[in-house]
């Protein structure tokens, strides 16, 4: 779990203590985003925009994908087609339904 994932996840919780329990229960590990991943995120996002990608795909999603790609991590996603289009070599876990 990196700072962007944490921030996006906070939307679903009313108290920080509730969010803090999730990584512990799920076996997640805290990890800062390496500079190489931040650089890659910018390049992939630029390619996405230059090939007609809409602004509705926010840059933070590219931070998450690039972090997983550079660090050799597996990414949990509900949108595997979009992730594979932008990070084709990334290993994904795609549950049929994530908790709402």
> DSSP of 9-50, one letter per residue?
HHTT-SSHHHHHHHHHHHT----PPPHHHHHHHHHHHHHHHH
For the chain, the domains span 3-93
**What is the value of pTM for the model shown?**
0.76
CATH architecture observed for domain 3-93: 3-Layer(aba) Sandwich (3.40)
Q: What is the mean pLDDT of residues 64-93?
A: 93
Locate 79 and state its tokens. 């949108």
pLDDT, tens digit, 9 for 90 and up, residues 18-77: 998 887 777 788 899 999 999 999 999 999 999 998 877 688 899 999 999 999 999 999
């Amino acid at each position: 779990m990196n700072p962007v994932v944490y921030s996006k996840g906070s939307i679903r919780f009313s108290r920080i203590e509730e969010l803090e329990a999730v990584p512990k229960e799920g076996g997640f590990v805290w990890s800062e985003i390496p500079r190489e991943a931040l650089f890659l995120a910018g390049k992939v996002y630029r390619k996405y925009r230059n090939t007609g990608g809409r602004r509705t795909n926010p840059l933070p999603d590219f931070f998450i994908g690039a972090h997983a790609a550079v660090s050799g991590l597996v990414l949990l996603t509900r949108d595997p087609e979009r992730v594979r289009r932008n990070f084709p070599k990334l290993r994904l876990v795609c549950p049929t339904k994530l908790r709402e």
